[in-house]
A and B are shown apart, each in its own frame.
Chain A
């Protein structure tokens, strides 16, 4: 199942930390992903979002559900008629944690850094803005010149985390943009300020009193995000009161248990998180569409949705969530049909070796989906071997062509509300390999996605293009799409003010407090 030696390390690490809940106003969150880096420009996922949203700020901020952006480091912005020039007015009262004032130069440096390190959100911003095209017009105004009139740029400005340029520059080594330093240190303006960090344990941050956004009457003085890969430890820890909040990735079995436990509340929210399985479309034998279709028909969708997830999720036939515009409503989805699976398998000409599938340690949903796929594949004579690793490890492996698994499955969360978040990122060739880990390439799909991405394309046309592209992708079966889920956020009953947004999954702690 899970774990390896890391669990031992995490358990040992947890044991070494002082007993929690002693400090007044300290919130402890048990997380199932490991915080292997603090660099806000290096990672862009929900599992490790807590570092970015609590210690750093972006130009805007996503809040609430359905997600909306509110002015944050920027007060307002203007877009030129051709959609290429975006000018942001910045707040003038924003202080970094070391007391220096934030200026447009810091935004420029942060943007250049994102484009230079080419990790995290850089994979999305890279094709939109060329290096050198971000300018500080004055201390309080910053201007981005886009290479294309992208409709998505506006949705991503929330993720341009601004770092303290003077501080980071002082810690640069051999032109590394301070990557070595920023992986272990913090240079933000965020609501919380780093106090202690250990990649094996997690991080502790204390409230930044001088944060520009007014604090409410109640807040946490300190927040701790601790890595606890063992699902049962997280659950028991919350029930016992050692932790005050957990990840929203627990299975219905676990949620049922938590609902029945005293002192625990489970917050339920609509969300757009599609469980998807990506095949490695470039490596034989999965470069053959017939094998991919065979596996799509060999997956028992009902077993997952009705039995294991106990009907808390709904079938999502394509990669775009049903409740998002651009999802083709008429597509019925692949069904569990071993006869059809065998028909397609018979068309595969090349020999089929055992396939390696990656699952996420601590994410039971990924392990159970993998087990179901493995079982179905075995029935048509295809062997799948499962390998479990923490998300940080799985994520890095997907970025490397040699280390990439043959199959990997995990839910695709929301980073911005546009079909591109799912369809474009997972199957547009411009996102290989950062987001398109399936390494799927189809010019017909690219053409439509690229056009749908432009702000100059009318909305009705964008919807049509997304629907068409989703249908083509569906026929090519570069992955398996299983279900769209709700978010079940388990918290201690003492915690109030949790402000959930599908973007960030309720991990922004500045709004929350002990009742």
Chain B
């Protein structure tokens, strides 16, 4: 309860949570909220490039579709990419880090050197290479992101596991005859969960940003999918005259990424008592 109260007192974290809730709400209720749900695919070329008005709150795009409607449906794609890509990265990265950190020795070295190799290549470049080779589609973007993201979790879990391994409660569990798997899952993992959760929240924001970049470069979902990055790519030809066209998806990406980052910071404050921002003294 104390944690919750502290979390609620942290305005930034609260703002982050609200932004993410809004994103989820937009995604779930897109068919209800969107003024023109069919505009995800439908064109009304006679109405193209209209500035924001009562009929179209965020204006219309190059094919005359309502930008607000497309934005709302785009939230679904954004969430899907972020959740699946980060989820996969966690599923790959955490066991690798856990095993490497727990056993150490040469198997641990090999696993960590492999993740070092992945980390050495700039992520976006690697993702572009993968997505380009496999062809543009949402699935391939998710795959590219998962394949490039897992080392972050592997590194984190590895470091945390190594330090926990020498803790008394781990040693006693081993002495009592617990199997390595049991020690890793029942004793180590719960104690590093908070670090993983914080990293995941911040990772979500980074993933959304990278996915939008890939969409912008034409490597994401093919047209006419209302993917936010793609919407910005399509709009750049009409800048600066049709300013609303790029602004709407741009602000959407900005708010969502900021939301995840603020939430991540807030969670770290609560879950990790060692690091506390500003409010540390008062707590």
Q: Chain A residues near B218 (CB, 8 Å)? A: 1-4, 361, 388
Contact with B223, one of A1, A5, A230 (Cβ below 8 angstroms): A1
* Number of cross-chain contacts by CB at 8 Å: 70
| A335 contacts partner chain B, Cβ-Cβ < 8 Å | no
Q: Which of B133-183 contact A (CB under 8 A)?
A: 135-136
| A314 contacts partner chain B, Cβ-Cβ < 8 Å | no
Q: Chain A residues near B237 (CB, 8 Å)? A: 231-232, 253-254, 364
Q: Chain B residues near A494 (CB, 8 Å)? A: none
Q: How many B residues, CB 8 Å from partner? A: 28
Chain B residue with the shortest CB-CB distance to A250: B237
Q: Is the CB of B222 within 8 A of A386?
A: yes
CB contact under 8 A between A371 and B63, given known A307-B46, A387-B136: yes
Q: Chain B residues near A2 (CB, 8 Å)? A: 218, 233
Q: Is the CB of B41 within 8 A of A375?
A: yes
Q: Chain B residues near A303 (CB, 8 Å)? A: 43, 45-46
Q: Closest CB-CB distance, B164 to chain A, in whole Å?
A: 42
| B268 contacts partner chain A, Cβ-Cβ < 8 Å | no
| B64 contacts partner chain A, Cβ-Cβ < 8 Å | yes
| B187 contacts partner chain A, Cβ-Cβ < 8 Å | no
Give the size category of A's interface with B: 20 to 34
Q: Is the CB of B63 within 8 A of A1?
A: no
Contact with A307, one of B64, B217, B222, B233 (Cβ below 8 angstroms): B64
Q: Chain A residues near B63 (CB, 8 Å)? A: 368, 371, 375
Q: Chain B residues near A368 (CB, 8 Å)? A: 62-63
Q: Is the CB of A372 within 8 A of B43?
A: yes
Chain A residue with the shortest CB-CB distance to B64: A307
Chain B residue with the shortest CB-CB distance to A375: B43
Q: Is the CB of A232 within 8 A of B41?
A: no
Q: Is the CB of B45 within 8 A of A307?
A: yes
| B219 contacts partner chain A, Cβ-Cβ < 8 Å | yes
Chain B residue with the shortest CB-CB distance to A367: B223
Q: Chain B residues near A51 (CB, 8 Å)? A: none
Q: Chain A residues near B234 (CB, 8 Å)? A: 1
| B224 contacts partner chain A, Cβ-Cβ < 8 Å | yes
Chain A residue with the shortest CB-CB distance to B230: A1
Chain B residue with the shortest CB-CB distance to A3: B218
Q: Which of B234-283 contact A (CB under 8 A)?
A: 234, 236-239, 241
Q: Is the CB of A4 within 8 A of B132?
A: yes
Q: Which A residues form the contact surface with B (CB < 8 A)?
A: 1-5, 7-8, 230-232, 253-254, 257, 300, 303-304, 306-308, 361, 364, 367-368, 370-372, 374-375, 378, 385-388
Show 14 residue pairs from A and B whose CB-CB distance is below 8 angstroms, ordered by the A residue: A3-B233, A4-B132, A4-B218, A4-B219, A5-B217, A7-B217, A231-B237, A253-B49, A303-B45, A307-B48, A308-B62, A372-B43, A374-B224, A375-B63
